[in-house]
């Protein structure tokens, strides 16, 4: 390997020994591996291009001829200028009868300074109709939004379920509506920008979202269109009077905002996000990222062309790790602990990550180092690694506070192994904040005493359970 990062952060110099490499970039084996990986990357790019093309040039031109933006153009206008877009599940439905990408675009992007999950239907692929793979893709995006507490923006233009596969969708697709309402219950905003048809099952999406923006003379939100109404009731009804943006704005109340065109809808959507007062919780990175010690391009020659052959993980870690972070020994250490030297650390159960802290003493809480990772997998006192980490932290004078939502299941077990740690049970308040309580009947550890509890939570009255 050839070193490309010459400056090593002094703050990280003592953390471990930089991994040394035995990779020979001029060897025939390296060149063969590199050529094989480049060929695979070429195949991957071909499939990604198919996903980006949607329904193909013919349907894209027909869509533009109607005066409408393509799904990816809508996303580009919605995102902040020069903001990155992390696309998710780009190759969904690959190797099946359906179009690569599953007629849906999902990803994470920055809108009005807020990281949001975007779910956009591609109307050039069977009118944006949902197939079994687009259902899975949509549910995965909603799961990511729920786990990371990210606002969701739906860019809707869909004909509902793809009729040939509706038997596989009718029941499981209801989870989309469940997840949207669950996000609202968690206080996570959901927004629907309706650019075209939102029919059948698709009509529930704007109805379930917290904010609905409908485009004039384009948005059509109804369970059944005019032909179905005619067949069922004999009544003649037009698209606009049955489910148009003006009707839903003036009569039904489904629409929260009335947009004159697509760009106006995107402008309104950006304004809604800017007024959410939403911000990422938790501390920022404690140290700036350093350049890797070795050239990342050399990763192409490390993995063998024959997948049956093993890969030396040290060669990979030596490249992907930042300079000064390569270790000669490895352990699953929570993010933030590797640089901790003193003070108090709060370890949060993964189920309560990114939740606001409600405390009477915010200055003290903000000075406490937060570690957002599941401590019960990492600092398991019944395992050697867990005992070593806890012992090292104790010797360094670092006090640990575990915060968990399932104290009754795990707290007493861990407290028995680590009596010096303070265990608190997290409970959700109606306003979305978390309240941390000393479990009833549990004494405070003597090594902490009332002083720490009072400093962190602003009261020495443990019976009040703040």
Position 324 scores a pLDDT of 41
Position 409 scores a pLDDT of 43
Top mean-pLDDT range of 89-103, 193-207, 262-276? 262-276
Residue 316's contacts (CB-CB under 8 Å, 6 or more residues apart) are 299, 302
Q: Which two tokens stand for residue 397?
A: 């004078």
Instruction: Tell me the mean pLDDT in the region 232-236.
Output: 85
At 202, is the secondary structure helix, strand, or coil?
helix
Q: What is the radius of gyration, based on Cα positions, of the chain? A: 27
Instruction: Tell me the mean pLDDT in the region 52-72.
Output: 94
- List Cα–Cα distances, 293 to 155, 318, 325, in angstroms: 42, 7, 9
b/e map of 210-225 (b: 16 or more CB within 10 Å)?
bbbbbbbebbbbbeeb
Residue 299 phi, psi (nearest 5): -60, -30
Q: What residue segments make up the domains of the chain, in order of their start? A: 54-274, 331-464
At 414, is the secondary structure helix, strand, or coil?
helix
Backbone dihedral region for residue 128 (phi beyond 0: left; psi -120 to 50: alpha; all else: beta): left
Higher-scoring residue by pLDDT: 223, 63: 63
* Nearest to 202, CA basis, from 136, 265, 242, 157: 157
Higher-scoring residue by pLDDT: 258, 457: 258
Is a pLDDT exceeding 70 seen at residue 11? no
Give the Cα separation of 126 and 202 in Å (integer): 14
360 pLDDT tier (thresholds 50, 70, 90)? very low
Residue 414's contacts (CB-CB under 8 Å, 6 or more residues apart) are 376, 379, 381, 402, 421, 423
Q: Bridge partners of 202? A: none
- For 373-427, the pLDDT digits (tens) are 344 444 444 444 445 555 555 555 555 555 555 444 444 544 554 544 555 555 5
- List Cα–Cα distances, 441 to 50, 436, 437, in angstroms: 61, 15, 11
Domain 54-274 coded CATH 3.90.226.10: yes
Position 353 scores a pLDDT of 42
Any idea how long the chain is? 466
Is a pLDDT exceeding 90 seen at residue 283? no
Instruction: Tell me the mean pLDDT in the region 5-32.
Output: 63
Q: Which two tokens stand for residue 325?
A: 């972070």
- List Cα–Cα distances, 355 to 109, 188, 271, 280, in angstroms: 21, 11, 24, 9
């Amino acid at each position: 390997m050839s070193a490309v990062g010459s400056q090593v952060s002094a703050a990280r110099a003592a953390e471990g020994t930089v991994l040394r490499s035995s990779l020979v970039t001029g060897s025939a084996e390296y060149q063969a591996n590199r050529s094989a990986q480049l060929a695979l990357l070429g195949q991957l790019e071909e499939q990604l291009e198919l996903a980006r093309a949607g329904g193909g040039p013919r349907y894209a031109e027909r869509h533009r001829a109607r005066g409408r933006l393509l799904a990816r153009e809508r996303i580009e206008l919605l995102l902040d200028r020069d903001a990155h877009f992390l696309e998710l599940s780009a190759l969904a439905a690959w190797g099946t009868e359906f179009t690569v990408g599953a007629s849906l675009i999902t990803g994470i992007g920055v809108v009005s300074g807020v990281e949001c999950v975007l779910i956009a239907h591609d109307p050039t692929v069977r009118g944006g109709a949902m197939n079994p793979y687009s259902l899975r893709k949509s549910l995965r995006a909603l799961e990511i939004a729920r786990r990371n507490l990210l606002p969701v923006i739906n860019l809707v233009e869909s004909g509902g379920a793809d009729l040939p596969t509706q038997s596989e969708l009718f029941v499981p697709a209801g989870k989309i509506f469940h997840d949207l309402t669950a996000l609202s219950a968690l206080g996570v905003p959901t927004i629907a920008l309706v650019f075209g048809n939102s029919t059948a099952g698709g009509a529930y999406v704007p109805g379930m979202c917290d904010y609905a923006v409908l485009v004039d003379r384009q948005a059509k939100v109804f369970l059944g269109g005019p032909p179905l109404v005619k067949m069922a009731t004999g009544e003649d009804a037009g698209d606009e009077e049955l489910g148009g943006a003006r009707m839903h704005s003036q009569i039904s109340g489904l629409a929260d905002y009335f947009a004159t065109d697509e760009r106006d809808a995107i402008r309104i959507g950006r304004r809604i996000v800017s007024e959410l007062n939403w911000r990422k919780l938790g501390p920022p990175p404690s140290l700036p990222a350093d350049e890797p010690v070795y050239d990342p391009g050399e990763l192409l020659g490390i993995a063998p062309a024959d997948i049956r052959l093993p890969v030396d993980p040290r060669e990979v870690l030596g490249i992907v790790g930042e300079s000064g972070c390569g270790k000669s020994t490895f352990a699953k250490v929570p993010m933030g602990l590797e640089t901790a030297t003193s003070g108090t650390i709060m370890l949060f159960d993964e189920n309560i990550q990114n939740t606001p802290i409600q405390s009477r003493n915010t200055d003290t809480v903000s000075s406490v180092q937060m570690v957002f990772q599941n401590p019960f997998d990492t600092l398991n006192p019944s395992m050697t690694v867990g005992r070593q980490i806890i012992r090292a932290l104790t010797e360094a004078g670092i006090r640990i506070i575990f915060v968990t939502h399932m104290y009754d299941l795990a707290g007493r077990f861990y407290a028995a192994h680590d009596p010096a740690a303070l265990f608190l049970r997290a409970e959700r308040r109606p306003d979305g904040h978390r309240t941390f309580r000393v479990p009833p009947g549990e004494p405070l550890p003597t090594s902490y005493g009332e002083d720490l509890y009072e400093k962190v939570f602003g009261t020495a009255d443990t019976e009040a359970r703040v």
